[in-house]
A and B are shown apart, each in its own frame.
Chain A
Amino acid sequence: MGFFSRFRSKEDNANLDKGLSKTKESFFGKLARAVAGKSTIDVDVLDNLEEVLISSDVGTKATIRIIEQIESRVSKDKYLGTEELQSILREEIAKSMGESKSELYGFDLLNKKTPFVILVVGVNGVGKTTSIGKLASRFKAEGKKVVLGAADTFRAAAIDQLRIWSDRAQVEIVAKEMGSDPSSVAYDTLKLALEKEADVVLIDTAGRLHNKVNLMNELAKIRRVLQKLMPDAPHEVLLVLDASTGQNAVEQARQFTQATEVTGLVLTKLDGTAKGGVVIGISSEFGIPVRFIGVGEGINDLQVFDKNDFVNSFFEA
Chain B
Amino acid sequence: MFDNLSDKLQSAFQILKGHGKITEINVAESLKEVRRALVDADVSFKVAKEFTQKVKDKALGEKVLTSLQPSQLMVKIVRDEMALLMGGEAVELNIKDNPSIILISGLQGSGKTTFSGKLASYLKRKKSKRPLLVACDVYRPAAVQQLRVLGEQIGVEVFHQEDSKDPVAIAIAAVEHAKKNGFNTVIVDTAGRLAVDKEMMDEISRIHKAVVPSETLFVVDSMTGQDAVNTAKAFNEVLNYDGVILTKLDGDTRGGAALTIRSVVNKPIKFVGTGEKMDALDIFYPSRMADRILGMGDVVSLVERAQEQFNEEEARKVQKKIAQNKFGFDDFLNQIQQIKKMGNMKDLMGMIPGMGKALKGVDIDDNSFKPIEAMIHSMTPYERENPGVISGSRRKRIAMGSGTSVPEVNRLLKQFEDMNKVMKTMQGGGGRALSQAMKRR
Interface residues of A (CB under 8 A from B): 22, 51, 54-57, 59-60, 123-127, 133, 154-158, 160-161, 163-165, 168, 178, 209-214, 217, 242-249, 251, 255, 258, 269, 271-275, 278, 297
Contacts and interface: CB of A to CB of B under 8 A. Distances in A.
Interface stretch (B14-22, B85-93, B252-260, B374-382): B252-260
Given A156-B149, A211-B347, A127 B109 contact: yes
Interface string B360-382: 11111000000000000000000
A253 to B, nearest CB: 13
A161 B231 CA distance: 26
A274 B227 CA distance: 5
B189 interface: no
A209 B356 CA distance: 12
Given A157-B143, A248-B251, 13 more contacts: A57-B225, A60-B39, A123-B251, A125-B108, A126-B109, A133-B141, A156-B145, A160-B142, A165-B141, A211-B251, A244-B224, A247-B41, A274-B230
B: interface residue count bin: 35 or more
Interface of B: 1, 36, 39-42, 44-45, 107-111, 139-143, 145-150, 153, 194-196, 221, 223-227, 230-231, 234, 248, 250-254, 256-257, 276, 344, 346-347, 350, 356, 359-364
Given A211-B252, A297-B139, A246 B225 contact: yes
B145 A157 contact: yes
Given A157-B146, A273-B196, A255 B360 contact: yes
Interface-centre pick from B36, B223, B225, B227 (highest chain A CB count, 10 A): B225
Contact of B231 (A54, A168, A213, A244): A244
Contacts of B344: 214
A272 B225 contact: no
Contacts of B143: 157, 161
A53 B363 CA distance: 37
A54 B226 contact: yes
A314 B147 CA distance: 40
A51 B229 CA distance: 14
Contacts of B359: 213
B251 to A, nearest CB: 4
Contacts of B107: 244, 269, 272
A56 B44 CA distance: 10
B186 to A, nearest CB: 20
A248 B43 CA distance: 12
Contacts of A155: 146, 276
Given A124-B276, A157-B142, A209-B248, A247 B254 contact: yes
15 contacts: A51-B45, A57-B42, A154-B276, A157-B148, A160-B142, A160-B145, A161-B140, A161-B146, A209-B248, A214-B344, A246-B225, A246-B226, A272-B196, A273-B227, A274-B225
A212 B347 contact: yes
B363 A217 contact: yes
Contacts of B276: 124, 154-155
A55 B225 CA distance: 9
7 nearest interchain CB pairs?
A246-B225, A125-B109, A246-B42, A213-B346, A156-B149, A211-B350, A164-B141
B36 A161 contact: no
B36 A60 contact: yes
